[in-house]
Amino acid sequence: MLSFKKQKKPFMAKFKLSYVAMLVVLVLLAISALPNLYPNKSWLHISAAPEVKTQALPSTENIVRFLNSQGFEVSQGVENQATINVLLNTPTQSAQAQAAIKSNYPNTQVKIAEHATSPVWLQEFGLSPIKLGLDLNGGVLFVLDVDLDKAIDEQLLSAYQQTKAIIVKQKAYGVKAKQTNQGFEISALENAAEKLTSVISDLKSRFENLTITTSTHGNLQVVKVSYSEQGRSAFDKQVVSQTLTTLRSRIEELGITEAVTQRQGKQRIRIELPGVQDPAEAKRIIGATASLGFYQLKEIGGQTFNLQSGGTIKLDPVPIFTGEHINNANIGRDDWGKPLVQLSLDSQGGDAMSAFSKANIGKPMATLYSEYSQNAKGEVVKKSEVINVANIAQHLSSCFSITNMQSQQAAADLALLLRAGSLTAPVTIVHEQTIGPSLGQDNINNGLAALMLGMGLTLAFMALWYRRLGLIANVALVLNLTSLVGLMSLLPGVVLTLPGIAGLVLTIGMAVDTNVIIFERIKEERRKGCPPYQAIQEGYKQAANTILDANITTMITAIILYGIGYGPVKGFAITLALGLITSVFTGVYVSKYLSQSLYLKLGKKAGVNAHA
């Protein structure tokens, strides 16, 4: 008896400690899964349009009466300061109701916003339901093509223009630059070789990945400037990466937090906007390729641009600074009530503005606005026009304003694009698909029906075939599904898609496989004559390595799918990978401790009998 107790105490202490840790993890995951019982609701936020000076709104009663007359059943209408919030009985009609309100009340702006319905204490912990993907929540899918050929042409044109400016600035007499089909070339007389070297050095410091090829033709030294295959590849990667970053910033500016923005192939970008029921606004901002630059006027040797107000003007081809140095941009109004855009620059842009304005007080500075668009032939063309020419009245620094904007909406769009960043390459929307929220709800219902059917049949089979152990497996299976939902709700960036629901069903199958392997091992030990408690220990011990090996190989597949896939494939891979983790946790460790707890008394009795 004494020897039995000495062996039992350390094991029991370790058992209780592991049990408590496991219980804490399960409770935390269950709490994080709770918000999924309280789905978010779509509200209509109605306020006065920003360009309307009189901020009068129709009454809440009038809005509700109008919506009911149009066939929209209003569940609730609440007035909150300068905003009227309306909740419909059928959330899938929010987009149609939004259009109806805009049509009947043109001086209002209507936004669709998601409101949490979970208890306040869950919201205070920052817990929310699983973010739903495009196919479950409805929304818009865009596939954008990044015109890398146009980007490289623009880069070479900029390099050519800056080369001419460098030659003039350095007074490099005898050095000339001219454009060619594949870039441009710089030629110099024999006595201007040193000046040519200085020009090339300055050019390389401004542009990376340029290929310089030098040759001699008589008394001329000719340098061809272009991009090599390796340099072109590096430039393409840089452009696509910058485009991805800019598009993500623009989507954040639109207030869409569950968007999926990822590269698709060499030069395409896939954007999924779940929950967006009005794609026009998103399309207008995402597809915009506007950029901004600030230039000095230059009558001799300058480049000619059109004025927005009419006429032409010549500007220095080298900008003082560009939109990439803008930290923030906000709309406002000047002393006459006209819209303007207030800019804040980074340190590099602020230094450039400070140095230029200090040396040019009383002289004009032009703001050049450029954007890409498609002409009637489908070709991408760049349109640039000067939107503002103003005299520098004083020494400026990192904060100043752009005035004379055409409208409040134009100022708001420009401010948004400048905050989010400009695109260095034109993008074209080559595919657009809108999925209605009603179709998304049908996908949810069908997917959950398949999940419940599969789980119900599995629970029944395990209970009938394995009896007491089957009940333990069923408890572990429910805990597995709860843990997986809680983990997906907890991790940022995880989005549930329709293939993700398929991953949930597959997770149930894999969890059952785990228990079947273990229980068959336990049966083998029982046939050898082992007592129940010892058979359980040996069964879990012998099956553990097999289960871990199988799940590791599947995890490798899930990681590969996540790495190279996109859209639905990526959603499936995320659910599969997380499901593997929770399956091993609940199927091996949780069910082991449940089995040991259930058969502990039998184990004690068997241990006493064995000792006797």
Rounded-to-integer distance, Cα 421 and Cα 417, Å: 6
Q: Which tens digits make up the pLDDT trace of 196-209?
A: 888 888 888 878 77
Q: What is the CATH number of the domain that holds 160?
A: 3.30.980
Within-domain flag for 163: yes
Burial of 111 (0-12, 13-18, 19+ CB in 10 A): middle
> What's the sign of the alpha-carbon dihedral 243, 244, 249, 254?
positive
* Residue bearing tokens 């089995």: 595
82 with 28, same domain: the answer is no
pLDDT of 6 strictly over 60? no
133 close to 497: Cβ distance less than 8 angstroms: yes
Rounded-to-integer distance, Cα 408 and Cα 387, Å: 15
Provide CB contacts within 8 A for 293, sequence distance 6+. 319, 320, 321, 322, 323, 367, 368, 370
352 with 479, same domain: the answer is no
Within-domain flag for 257: no
How much is the CA Rg of the chain, to the nearest whole Å? Answer: 33
Q: Which tens digits make up the pLDDT trace of 446-505?
A: 888 888 888 888 888 888 887 778 888 888 888 988 999 999 888 876 778 888 888 888
499 with 545, same domain: the answer is yes
Q: Which tens digits make up the pLDDT trace of 140-185?
A: 888 888 888 888 887 888 888 888 878 888 888 888 888 887 788 8
Q: What is the CATH number of the domain that holds 49?
A: 3.30.70.260
Q: Which tens digits make up the pLDDT trace of 66-81?
A: 888 888 888 888 887 7
415 with 441, same domain: the answer is no
Provide CB contacts within 8 A for 271, sequence distance 6+. 141, 142, 143, 144, 247, 251, 259, 260, 261, 286
Rounded-to-integer distance, Cα 355 and Cα 295, Å: 13
What are phi and psi for residue 101, nearest 5 degrees? -65, -45
* Residue bearing tokens 């901020």: 55
413 with 442, same domain: the answer is no
403 close to 228: Cβ distance less than 8 angstroms: no
Within-domain flag for 250: no
Within-domain flag for 124: no
Rounded-to-integer distance, Cα 446 and Cα 438, Å: 12
350 with 402, same domain: the answer is yes
Q: Which long-range contacts (CB under 8 A, 24 or more apart) does 170-176 make?
A: 170/195, 170/198, 170/199, 170/202, 172/196, 172/198, 172/199, 175/199
pLDDT of 121 strictly over 80? yes
Domains contained in the chain, number: 4
pLDDT of 52 strictly over 60? no
When pLDDT is averaged across residues 311-326 and rounded to a whole number, the result is: 81
Within-domain flag for 505: yes
Instruction: Indicate the helix (H) or strand (E) that contains 119.
Output: none
Within-domain flag for 104: yes
205 with 331, same domain: the answer is no
Q: Which two tokens stand for residue 568?
A: 């639905």
336 with 452, same domain: the answer is no
217 with 71, same domain: the answer is no
Which is more confident, 177 or 411? 177
- Listed residues 115, 131, 159: the one ending a domain: 115
pLDDT of 603 strictly over 50? no
pLDDT tier for residue 28 given thresholds of 50, 70 and 90:
very high
Residue 589 belongs to domain spanning: 2-37+437-611
Q: What is the CATH number of the domain that holds 541?
A: 1.20.1640.10
Report the SS3 class of residue 379: coil
CB-hemisphere CA count at 13 Å for 588? 18
Rounded-to-integer distance, Cα 75 and Cα 85, Å: 11
Predicted pLDDT at 4: 41
DSSP 421: -
Rounded-to-integer distance, Cα 607 and Cα 578, Å: 39
Q: Which of 441, 461, 569, 468 is nearest to 508 (CA)?
A: 461
Within-domain flag for 500: yes
Largest CA distance in the chain: 110
Alpha-helical runs (H) found in 437-567: 437-490, 498-527, 532-564
Q: Which of 274, 224, 267 is nearest to 251 (CA)?
A: 274
551 with 452, same domain: the answer is yes
Predicted pLDDT at 192: 82
51 close to 338: Cβ distance less than 8 angstroms: no
User: What is the residue-averaged pLDDT of the chain?
Assistant: 79
Within-domain flag for 551: yes
Provide CB contacts within 8 A for 359, sequence distance 6+. none
Q: What is the CATH number of the domain that holds 297?
A: 3.30.1360.200
402 with 321, same domain: the answer is yes
Q: Which two tokens stand for residue 195?
A: 């000046």
Predicted pLDDT at 7: 46
452 close to 477: Cβ distance less than 8 angstroms: no
Alpha-helical runs (H) found in 171-221: 193-206
pLDDT of 59 strictly over 90? no
Q: Which tens digits make up the pLDDT trace of 200-252?
A: 888 888 787 788 888 887 778 888 888 888 888 888 888 888 788 778 877 77
- Listed residues 210, 232, 254: the one ending a domain: 232
474 with 571, same domain: the answer is yes
Q: Which long-range contacts (CB under 8 A, 24 or more apart) does 460-465 make?
A: 462/512, 462/515
Rounded-to-integer distance, Cα 229 and Cα 235, Å: 10
- Listed residues 425, 454, 481: the one ending a domain: 425
Rounded-to-integer distance, Cα 433 and Cα 79, Å: 35
Provide CB contacts within 8 A for 462, sequence distance 6+. 470, 471, 473, 474, 477, 512, 515
Predicted pLDDT at 277: 63
